[in-house]
Amino acid sequence: MNLSIPLSAIQHRMAQDVPIGRLDEPTVRRLWWGALDTLQDEILGNMDLKKGLWIASPLPALYEPKLLDRLKGWVWAPEELETLHISHSALLPPSRVRSIHESNQTSIDNYSRLPLRDEDGQDPLLIIITSEVQFALALQGEPGNRSLLMRSDSETFRDLLRILDLRLADENSESAIELREALASLGELQNKDAIQKSFWPLLSARLAGIAPSLTLQALPDKTIGNKQENEFDGELTLLEALTHEVRTPLATIRTLIRSLLRREDLPELVTDRLYQIDSECTEQIDRFGLIFNAAELERHQPEASRLASTDLGNMLEMLHPVWSQQVERRGIRLFLDISPDLPHVLSDPARLELMLGGLIDRNTRGLKTGGSLLLELRPAGHRLKLKILRKTDNSHISEIADETSEQNSDLGPVLSWNPSTGSLQLTQAATKRLLTSLGGRLALRRDSGITIFFPIAEAKY
């Protein structure tokens, strides 16, 4: 008889002295994903963490590359996902997966898989412990009484670590020893109240930015212009919420697919289909991520510049194999023509990668099978000039003109509908605004096609 402590004991301990929740499942799941974003992107992402550990169930909840590289992990996962002991790249957001694949520097030794039992339950759990900060996130409660739990106090963490140690000692003594050694290597754990207390305000701000409002109405004495602004603001808020809701299940599907792809007993046809689904998920996550960025930028004033020195030429070369694989599914080839020894530019590398992927997607949708796309990067005075050119038949390669702009129907300040391709895409204004926030300047003229100028970063000696 198995008397091992279930993982649900962790949620029960975290729920002590916490009021019973009143949320339904869709709402609490949105809270969970918002909490993961807040913790990893806005709190831990701004800290210079050297080492630590993370524990998750029933699937990996950690996705930030910097954290995955530096923290040791344990994941309790269902037996059906017997090959979940996979590379970190399967857990990363799309803007980071490619760089991990290309650099091949990530080791699967940084995280261990453990079997999830029926009595453990399916409620998600994530615990992160470093010498500077400790967080435990979980969902808990009966249907209709669900709640998001966050604990960071020392007393709760002592109990959580005791539960984990007992569980590991019973089922995997080697992992128990590893956990004890990992904790010992951190030294005395600090409990920085200011960091922990920032979690709920940051989560509230994030949710307020993406949740659609159904209560705000324009006042009767507002001008027509202000009414239009209010209407646009409501549309943009809803658009942000929709893009978030689309990306969330797609990311979950992609994680499950990549875990299955590690199995060696799958028929070749099944494997091929799974790879196709994975590619489609990544492509749509990227597209909706770009739309979200555009809507967010349209609704809010840009934050202080976070532009940094960026090796644009290297970025293009690194991403070329992934982009080529995407466009080849449409029967299109992608070529690079990059001048040697180019200086770095000022931009935001993570967001720029998503933006460039969006431009490639947009400009291949109008190409017929057999066409090709060329990315040309050249010096241009104190800037670098990136051109996007295409070849639609056996004629010479010509620069892309905005041939379909007259056919597009703008659906608002961010999205337009192209009936010739049957797709949604960013408006020209939204595209220019996004590129401007990334340090670029878009030149889009019928006689010269798509050209983007990036400022050269000053050399530091």
**Range in 171-175, 445-449, 452-456 the model is least confident about:** 445-449
Which domain range does residue 348 map to? 308-455
- Evaluate if residue 447 carries a pLDDT over 50: no
Q: Backbone dihedral region of 258: left (phi > 0), alpha (psi from -120 to 50 degrees) or beta?
A: alpha
Kindly report, residue by residue over 15-51, the tens digit of the pLDDT: 988 888 888 877 788 788 888 888 888 888 878 788 8
CA distances (Å), origin 160, targets 116, 124, 141, 149, 151: 17, 15, 18, 13, 10
Kindly report, residue by residue over 72-131, the tens digit of the pLDDT: 888 888 765 544 333 333 333 333 333 333 333 333 445 688 888 888 888 899 999 988
Residue 314 belongs to domain with CATH number: 3.30.565.10
N-term to C-term CA, the chain: 67
Q: What total number of domains does the chain contain?
A: 3
Kindly report, residue by residue over 184-208, the tens digit of the pLDDT: 888 888 777 777 788 888 888 777 6
The three-class DSSP label of residue 332 is coil
Q: Which of 205-214, 246-255, 294-303, 388-397 has the highest mean pLDDT?
A: 246-255
CB 123 within 8 A of CB 103: no
CB 326 within 8 A of CB 359: no
Q: pTM for the full model? A: 0.51
Is 182 found in the same domain as 314? no
Q: Is residue 372, in this structure, part of any structural domain at all?
A: yes
Give the DSSP per-residue string, 266-289. S-HHHHHHHHHHHHHHHHHHHHHH
Q: Is 430 exposed, middle or buried (0-12, 13-18, 19+ CB in 10 A)?
A: buried
Is 201 found in the same domain as 323? no
Average pLDDT over residues 386-408: 59
Is 229 found in the same domain as 149? no
Is 444 found in the same domain as 315? yes
Is 235 found in the same domain as 197? no
Please identify, among 169, 186, 210, the residue that sits at the C-terminal boundary of a domain. Answer: 210
- Spatial separation of the C-alpha atoms in residues 206 and 194, rounded to whole Å: 18
Confidence band, pLDDT 50/70/90 cuts, at residue 448: very low
Is 183 found in the same domain as 293? no
Average pLDDT over residues 363-382: 85
**Residue 114 DSSP class:** E
Cis peptide before 220 (omega within 30 of 0): no
- Evaluate if residue 399 carries a pLDDT over 80: no
- Spatial separation of the C-alpha atoms in residues 206 and 155, rounded to whole Å: 29
Kindly report, residue by residue over 244-270, the tens digit of the pLDDT: 667 777 877 887 787 788 888 889 898
**Range in 67-71, 164-168, 297-301, 326-330 the model is least confident about:** 297-301
Q: Is residue 3, in this structure, part of any structural domain at all?
A: no
- Which structure tokens are listed for 279? 């590619």
Residues paired with 425 in a beta bridge: 416
Please identify, among 210, 242, 266, the residue that sits at the C-terminal boundary of a domain. Answer: 210
